[in-house]
Amino acid sequence: MAAFVGTAIEWYDFYIYATAAALVFGPLFFPEADRAVGVAAAFATYAVGFVVRPLGGIIFGHIGDKFGRRPSLVITLLVMGISTALVGLLPTYASIGVWAPALLIVLRALQGLAVGGEWGGAVLMAVEHAPEKHKSFYGGFAQLGNPAGALLATLMFSALSSQGDDFLLNGGWRIPFLVSFVLILVGFWVRNRVEESPVFEAKVEGTVQSLPLKTAIVGNWKALLIGVGLLPLSTGGYQLTTTFATAYGTDPSVGLDETLILNALAMAAFVELVATLGVAWLGDKWGRKRVMFIGLLGSMILVIPQFLVMSTGPEWLLFVAFCAMRLLMTATYAPMAAIMSQLFPPQARYTSISLSNGVAAAFWGGISPLAATLLYAATGNVWPVLFLFLAMGALSIFCLSIAPQHRDEEPKHAATPNTMNDPIGASK
């Protein structure tokens, strides 16, 4: 529950920024630019949150490996919640000029630092409490926070956008950010009550690390690189089919209504929310790597019809395409908690998983929407964006095929893990 509630709140904070970047941050914080440049500038501030995630992984990974998963997770929640709420209080360009986008970038950087340490800690808290045969399912609760946060953020903006653009631009956009003040109180209460990870306690009894970052880079460098290569579709591809799709669909050349896109994304997020635990459970039954492979291949097949239907219709098919894509993306994401956590032995695991995920998020998640926006603006065609998606999927499949999986011993005592460099589908 602590893994789910905390990640749901933090991803809610992350996604309301993403949605605001696609819909309102351009005219509010970059009003002198034309629409395409304004959206690109808004996505550039959005990318800052991804760029600093490796630093957040190092900082909070060090805390998590040295002092425990719980204190690190409590700190990340507070940093994320406070910085998000302050965005809701931020003056716009019309009030303070260039200071507005500058302060927006600072707060976005704080968001990125927090989420850089959040995901790895939440994943480890769930997976390290799990028996070996249920690690994918337990890890699914940490992954469940993503669609829950996305659904809450999308529903919030969908309700606000239904009041009209004037309402949204004249202060309505602040409401989702200010709600974060309340959510962090709930998350803090839950996180502060959770027990420490038994694998961490066993590791502390067996080995004391002076510098987890050194252990991660020297001992786990191959797995770190594989982890970065595993995630382009789960992070960058996810952003292309949600954040960039929002900007693309509402572009005048496509002409879809904002509320229609947000409602389709909300329904897709609901599908992901319902499906995540079931897909994670299948990861324990079929093999977590096999389930991810199905998701990767299926997403690569469906991405072209998804974007084509946005410009051709009908509307009901748009909802079907968004929901089907999100279901396939869930298969790339739900087993990821167990796959990534078991890439590394317990020593420096928090730092390793956070650093690998942070670098991947910075490169794939942060750059993908911006690169897609620039490609579309330069060519006036969505096909270069689709080819980018397919290339990222191919890299994900290759790295999945060579990803090792460590098996933890019983968490009541210090562990010496066995390593299985298994093919797709062998890990359960």
pLDDT 10s digits, 25-41: 878 887 766 566 666 67
Backbone angles phi, psi at 270, to 5 degrees: -65, -40
Q: Which residue has the tokens 């019983």?
A: 410
Residue 105 located in a structural domain: yes
Give me the pLDDT at residue 428, please.
Answer: 39
Question: For residue 419, what are the β-bridge partners?
Answer: 406
- Please give the DSSP secondary-structure letter assigned to residue 169: I
Whole-angstrom distance, CA of residue 284 vs CA of residue 127: 12
Range of the domain at 6: 2-420
pLDDT 10s digits, 227-254: 999 999 998 998 899 888 988 888 888 8
State the pLDDT confidence band at 335, using cuts at 50, 70 and 90. Answer: very high
Residue 46 located in a structural domain: yes
The verdict on pTM exceeding 0.85 is: no
Residue 428 located in a structural domain: no
The DSSP secondary structure of 294-314, one letter per residue, reads HHHHHHHHHHHHHHHHHHH--
| Whether the predicted pLDDT of 14 surpasses 80 | no
State the pLDDT confidence band at 287, using cuts at 50, 70 and 90. Answer: very high
Q: What percentage of the chain exceeds 70 in pLDDT?
A: 91
Residue 75 located in a structural domain: yes
Residue 427 located in a structural domain: no
Domain count, the chain: 1
pLDDT 10s digits, 184-223: 888 888 877 778 877 777 765 545 556 888 888 988 999 9
Domain CATH for 38: 1.20.1250.20
Residue 381 located in a structural domain: yes
Provide mean pLDDT across the span 401-417: 65
The DSSP secondary structure of 96-151, one letter per residue, reads HTTHHHHHHHHHHHHHHHHHHHHHHHHHHHHHTTS-GGGHHHHHHHHHHHHHHHHH
| Whether the predicted pLDDT of 137 surpasses 90 | yes
Residue 350 located in a structural domain: yes
CB 326 within 8 A of CB 298: no
| Whether the predicted pLDDT of 426 surpasses 90 | no
